Amino acid sequence: MKDKPNIIFILSDDLSYCDIGCYGQKHIRTPNIDRLAKDGMRFTQAYAAASICGPSRCGLLTGKHMGHARNREHGQPVSGVPGGRYQHSLLPEDQTLGNVMQAAGYKTAAIGKWAVGLPGTEGVPNKKGFDHSFGFYDQVRAHSFYPEFVWRNNEPVVLEGNFGFDMHAIYRSNGRRFDADDPDQNTYDDEGRIIPRGVNDPDKVQNTYDLCEAEALEFIKDNADHPFFVYLAFQNPHGPLIVPSLEPYTNTDWPSLRHKEWGSIITRMDTGIGKITDLLES
């Protein structure tokens, strides 16, 4: 093994251990994660730093016990930051895993859901040891797979194709149906593909999982000749559940639409992990 092996830390959001094949799941397909488990190490007793999102990520990135961490709870407003709720930002004195890897000579990237530093604060990824960043700084915005923008290196990346996407119509309880007799209420068409209501051009909508996957692959290619560390924090399968397609579960006899969405959003992530491992092996 070379002195500085490339490292990719993949973090899913709200994934249960019972949702993947290597822990006994029989219905949702996760062949790539299962292969990693077979060829590597599988934990059977492990604990997160906290039971909720931001604090757990804070503990993971800083190595601190929650009693000493910056981000311990949700729901508190952040002074001076418009809409800054539900998370606390890291301060200049807080060191992260990114700082450690950077100091060790790695090119570093934070891609996906950050949740420990709001825009305009000292807690954004590029000020916390990451050379490159892409995705969501605010964990509340990360609860959408079709936002109007994401962040790349502290600059907004506008996703014009998502403008007007009627999230409320899709997520409201009486709109989550798959009913051939009432197609105006459907979330998906007959082939299981999403119906992006409210947009000007349905072919131009962009799912942020796909964008984060592509960003990670590009960073790996760009840094093939240099040791790299990628912190890849996918949104999947955190709700609200919505997927570009219900495949490969469109035609299953599963009891509800949500079962198909849950399976699809996990298998979609597993497929992306397969692309990453294939790229590394190539």
Backbone angles phi, psi at 50, to 5 degrees: -155, 165
**Are residues 205 and 161 in contact, defined by beta-carbon separation less than 8 angstroms?**
yes
Q: How high is the pLDDT of residue 200?
A: 83
> Could you tell me which residues come within 8 angstroms of residue 250 by beta carbon, excluding any fewer than 6 positions away?
191, 192, 260
d(CA 175, CA 28): 25
Domains of the chain: 7-281 (3.40.720.10)
Tens-place pLDDT, residues 167-226: 666 655 444 444 444 555 667 888 888 888 788 888 899 999 999 999 999 999 999 999
Name the average pLDDT for the chain: 87
**From residue 151, how far is each of 14, 114, 126, 212 by CA, in Å?**
22, 11, 11, 11
Tokens of 207: 């799912």
Biggest distance spanned by C-alpha atoms of the chain: 62
Backbone angles phi, psi at 192, to 5 degrees: 85, 15
Tokens of 249: 């579960």
47, amino acid identity: Y
Q: How high is the pLDDT of residue 272?
A: 97
Tens-place pLDDT, residues 89-108: 889 999 999 999 999 999 99
Helix 257-281, helix 208-222: angle, nearest 10: 10
pTM value is: 0.90
19, amino acid identity: D
- Regions in the chain scoring below 50 on pLDDT: 1, 78, 81, 84, 173-181
> Could you tell me which residues come within 8 angstroms of residue 5 by beta carbon, excluding any fewer than 6 positions away?
227
**From residue 234, how far is each of 11, 23, 69, 146 by CA, in Å?**
6, 20, 23, 14
**Are residues 257 and 36 in contact, defined by beta-carbon separation less than 8 angstroms?**
no
Q: How high is the pLDDT of residue 168?
A: 60
Q: How high is the pLDDT of residue 86?
A: 59
